[in-house]
């Protein structure tokens, strides 16, 4: 990692991503907390999450195909401009109206999630293109540390601000982070080497591109199952984001400070994983490390489901953070190494669609909390996760280093 940090491109990328992550993190922290404390807020938050997921499900294949045909740096910069424009516009609207209604809060949450969905696929493909394969493991660890450090800051700042500072001020701060990130990333040297004459000439249909990604995976079924199952910790975390503020407020009967402490603990666990996983991957294969991190994640789910008090929630946050980030770092390094860059956008699009579908189904199933309470939602997520863990244990041999024939 020290060698990587000597590279000015890495330092600029880390600073830019940190700023953008702080902005999106504060938004995604503040808006759900404000929503669930309004009459009908649980249902509004649930349906906002479902609607956002469905819209992004429809957008993902188009975006993935576009990403494979255009400059990855352009896509990165466009995501930052979207974040800046959306947050600045919503801040000014809230200031002009003297506050934010339920509809405005739902729109802000959608805008923040759209930024996330535009930014990360572009960053993933961009990083794969400008750095050498030998740097992937250390770089994914660094990016995970950066991202989670930013979220830790966002959680702490959000916990302090949400009850005392008007939301429009928070949104203006978020807009400033996106703009600064845009300006920094403009300076990164980049050449769109994937845009060969053959590649630009071939323009299959949007959904055909997703099918091509699926076809590439279909030739490697055990690897496809492994990648799918190792995605589940992230799916559970994203689905659990709906439950976290409701669980803290209505099961633990705690305030924003406890919610922020859980977010910070999650980030601390993720940072620890970001430091440890590149070293563990250098010593052991992903077939060994990923099941281990997933068992840590399972322990975090058990803490939430069984031990229903604030300190246990904070401990669970650390375990979930380590387990999720550990799986993400190892999975990302494998994707970078095993998936050719010319099909990365299409393969990523397929997994984005699958991710959105699974999240939609899981969040819709969270209606169980209306009658059984938030712990029932966590019980359901735990069942899904255990199935995925079994799938990883059955197909982990596919993660062992071997040559993979390009598409």
Residue 2 is assigned to a structural domain of this protein? no
SS3 133: helix
Q: Assess if residue 247 is contained within a domain.
A: yes
Give the CATH number, domain containing residue 278. Answer: 1.20.1250.20
Place of tokens 């359901």: 380
Whose CA is closest to 87, among 200, 167, 5, 197?
167
Could you tell me if 300 and 235 are in contact, meaning their C-beta atoms sit under 8 angstroms apart? no
- Rounded distance between C-alpha atoms, residue 266 and residue 269, angstroms: 5
Q: How far apart are CA 22 and CA 105, in angstroms?
A: 19
* Dihedral of alpha carbons 113, 383, 61, 222, sign: positive
In a domain, 407, yes or no: no
Determine, yes or no, domain membership for 199: no
Q: Provide the pLDDT for residue 402.
A: 53
Counts for the chain of helices (H) and strands (E), in that order: 16, 0
Asked if the structure places residue 405 within a domain, the reply is no
Domain range enclosing 125:
8-187+209-399
- 95-101 LR contacts (CB < 8 Å, sep 24+): 95/168, 100/34, 100/167, 100/168
pTM for the model: 0.71
The mean of the pLDDT values for the chain is 81
Q: Which residue has the tokens 């984001």?
A: 241
Residue 3 within any structural domain of the chain: no
In a 13 Å sphere around the CA of 388, the CA atoms on its Cβ side amount to 26
194 in a structural domain: no
Residues of the chain with pLDDT under 70: 1-3, 137, 144, 148, 151-152, 155-156, 158-160, 193-207, 209, 341, 345, 400-407
In a 3-state reduction of DSSP, which class is residue 7?
coil
190: three-class secondary structure by DSSP:
coil
pLDDT in tens, 371-383: 888 888 899 999 9
- For the chain, how many structural domains are there in total? 1
Q: Tell me whether residue 255 is in a domain.
A: yes
């Amino acid at each position: 990692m020290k060698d990587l940090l000597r590279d000015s491109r890495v330092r600029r990328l880390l600073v830019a991503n940190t700023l953008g992550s702080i902005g999106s993190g504060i938004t995604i922290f503040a808006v759900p907390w404000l929503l669930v404390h309004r009459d009908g807020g649980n249902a509004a938050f649930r349906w906002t999450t479902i609607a956002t997921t469905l819209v992004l499900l429809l957008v993902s294949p188009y975006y993935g195909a576009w990403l494979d045909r255009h400059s990855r740096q352009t896509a990165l910069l466009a995501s930052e401009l979207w974040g800046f424009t959306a947050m600045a516009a919503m801040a000014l609207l809230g200031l002009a109206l003297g506050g934010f209604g339920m509809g405005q809060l739902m729109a802000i949450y959608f805008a923040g999630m759209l930024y996330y969905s535009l930014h990360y696929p572009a960053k993933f493909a961009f990083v794969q293109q400008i750095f050498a394969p030998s740097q992937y493991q250390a770089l994914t660890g660094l990016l995970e540390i950066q991202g989670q450090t930013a979220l830790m800051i966002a959680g702490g700042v959000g916990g302090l601000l949400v009850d005392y500072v008007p939301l429009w001020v928070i949104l203006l701060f978020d807009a400033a982070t996106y703009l600064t990130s845009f300006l920094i990333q403009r300076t990164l040297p980049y050449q769109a080497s994937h845009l060969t004459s053959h590649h630009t000439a071939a323009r299959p249909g949007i959904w055909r591109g997703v099918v091509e990604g699926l076809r590439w995976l279909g030739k490697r079924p055990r690897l496809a199952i492994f990648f799918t199952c190792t995605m589940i910790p992230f799916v559970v975390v994203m689905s659990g984001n709906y439950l976290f503020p409701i669980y803290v407020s209505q099961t633990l009967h705690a305030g924003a400070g406890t919610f922020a402490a859980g977010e910070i603990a999650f980030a601390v666990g993720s940072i620890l994983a970001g430091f440890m996983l590149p070293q563990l991957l250098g010593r052991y294969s992903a077939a060994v490390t990923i099941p281990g991190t997933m068992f840590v994640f399972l322990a975090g789910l058990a803490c939430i489901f069984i031990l229903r008090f604030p300190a246990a929630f904070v401990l669970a946050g650390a375990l979930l953070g380590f387990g999720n980030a550990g799986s993400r770092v190892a999975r990302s390094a494998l994707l970078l190494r095993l998936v050719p860059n010319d099909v990365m956008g299409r393969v990523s699009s397929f997994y984005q669609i699958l991710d959105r579908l699974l999240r939609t189904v899981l969040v819709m199933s969270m209606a169980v909390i209306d009658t059984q309470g938030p712990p029932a939602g966590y019980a359901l997520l735990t069942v899904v996760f255990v199935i995925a863990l079994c799938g990883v244990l059955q197909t982990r041999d596919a993660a062992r280093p071997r040559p993979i024939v390009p598409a």
